[in-house]
Structure 1
Amino acid sequence: MNNEYNLSPKDISQQFITILKDWIPSNSSIAIAVQNTYIYFHSGHQSIHLEVGQPVQPDSIAGKVLHSKKRTDAILDNSLFDIPYYGIGYPIHIQDVPAALVVVLPSTFSVQKLDPYQFLTGKQDEDWNPVAIEKISHIESLQKKTWFYVEGEQFKTSITLKELQMRLPSFFIRIHRSYIVNIHFIKKMSRDLTSNFIVTLKDGSELPVSQSYINTLRNALEF
């Protein structure tokens, strides 16, 4: 990174930070990137792992802003975060050089802005089927596609797992990078031969619980 951009937070963008503090929640995070390198980062989330000097990933919000020079927003998943967050990126200039200002809002912010799904429309063969959300037993991400299950039948949806996690009712719980489960369909929780947790559904389906989500499941079901 060029020395001309190795500036203190005040020198970098005091004008931007002052404005942002007037409207974003105090537990939001702020990042600024110039020439594909982060030059400023303030963390409002303990789960964010980002450092000054770290290169910008092309598929990140900052990367997309630097490439398109347009406002970009997205729901962020576990690549940098333990749970999904809502991020917004803005094109700015630092010393006449194109830069990206990214604000990462806590998950509760976006959840409050969006109503929970009441149904999902899934594709099966050549038909599209609207299904009431409470009838869905679990949702799976497999081979870059999202599937949900109703009474043993499989339906495909274009909505990603990370987007669903933000919009599903509270009785749906993320238990794995690839699975979200409806707790009303859980029959039991147990350990397998390697002491990893397994969720068994009422239809006999067995879903793995990853270590990063076990506390979420414990807190929800109080065991």
Structure 2
Amino acid sequence: MEVGNIREMKEEFKGLEQYKVILEDWIPKDASIVIALGDTYVYYSPSTTHFHLKLSKEVHSKSTAAQVLENRHKTAILIDETIFGTAFYVIGYPIIIEHQEAALVVIFPSSYVPEKQEQYKFLTGKQDEDWVPVPIEQVSHIESLQKRTWFYAADDQYKINCTLKELQLKLPEYFLRIHRSYIINIYFIKRISKDLASNFFVELKNGSELPISQSYINDLRKFLEF
């Protein structure tokens, strides 16, 4: 069965559209829905923010869908990078299709921030042999490089023992993911431009130039209204 071919899905798994209709009352309009049956995604209703992304055909063993299928419980809001190859907030639900156990996963846009998350007021980073707490509003951007995470404030670089995936859960809303390797503080943006190949990049006030991936440009456009 070809993933994403909704007409074929409707014929073989009647009633899948009902889940989309039910969820429309409470999920963001720019959220997407996928349904997993066994080790395959059998249904995909993309939002405009995810339409350009390629859905994985197979359910990854560490995915939210796999967790739902194994435990048969609704998940908390998680970050899942197995569905599109890019990290997004998701929530999973156990459902039944044609008397078979399945998993429904709601994929939120990258601009989505979970409610009731206690936000960071500072980040503590290591510089040389010292640990330094830095107020969060002074952090210009955060980078994942060579399996390590670094954040930048003024002209200083600090190493932190968290992944971008973990940090993203508790950063203030003015921190936006622009690339699988970068999160930026929008108050440090100097300009957003295109290179000769029409790829977007952001120049920060400290002179750093960072690429903006196609996976995140729509969310950045929406948040900054450009």
Report the TM-score, using the length of structure 1 for normalisation. 0.67
Question: Which sits farther off after the overlay, 182-191 or 41-50?
Answer: 182-191
C-alpha displacement at 1:166, in angstroms? 5.7
Which residue pairs with 1:65 in the alignment?
68
Contact map agreement 2:111 2:176 (CA 8 A) in 1: no
Q: CA RMSD in A?
A: 4.3
**1:135 aligned to 135, 138, 141, which one?**
138
Structure 2: how far apart are the matches of 1:198 and 1:42? 31
Name structure 1 gaps, 5 residues minimum: none
Return the letter of the residue paired with 1:40: Y
- SS across alignment from 1:137: strand
Structure 1: how far apart are the matches of 2:31 and 2:191? 37
**2:120 aligned to 117, 121, 128, which one?**
117
Q: Cα deviations across residues 48-75 of structure 1 (Å, max 9, x unaligned)?
A: 4466x93223333213333454443412
| Alignment pair present for 1:208 and 2:210 | yes
- SS across alignment from 1:110: coil
Structure 2: how far apart are the matches of 1:79 and 1:104? 9
Structure 2: how far apart are the matches of 1:74 and 1:128? 29
Name structure 2 gaps, 5 residues minimum: 2-7
Contact map agreement 1:119 1:130 (CA 8 A) in 2: yes
Contact map agreement 1:121 1:129 (CA 8 A) in 2: yes
| Alignment pair present for 1:75 and 2:82 | no
Structure 1: how far apart are the matches of 2:196 and 2:21? 55
Going from structure 1 to structure 2, the CA distance change for 1:188 and 1:55 (only over 3 Å counts) comes to closer
Q: Cα deviations across residues 140-166 of structure 1 (Å, max 9, x unaligned)?
A: 111222211234433233443245456
**2:150 aligned to 147, 150, 158, which one?**
147
Return the letter of the residue paired with 1:101: L
RCO higher in structure (CA 8 A, sep ≥6): 2
| Alignment pair present for 1:35 and 2:38 | yes
Which residue pairs with 2:4 in the alignment?
none
Structure 2: how far apart are the matches of 1:94 and 1:194? 45
Return the letter of the residue paired with 2:164: L
Which residue pairs with 1:199 in the alignment?
203
Structure 2: how far apart are the matches of 1:200 and 1:106? 24
Contact map agreement 1:107 1:166 (CA 8 A) in 2: no
Structure 1: how far apart are the matches of 2:30 and 2:177? 23
Report the TM-score, using the length of structure 2 for normalisation. 0.66
Going from structure 1 to structure 2, the CA distance change for 1:211 and 1:34 (only over 3 Å counts) comes to closer
Larger Rg: 1
Going from structure 1 to structure 2, the CA distance change for 1:192 and 1:26 (only over 3 Å counts) comes to closer
Going from structure 1 to structure 2, the CA distance change for 1:136 and 1:175 (only over 3 Å counts) comes to same
Contact map agreement 2:31 2:47 (CA 8 A) in 1: yes
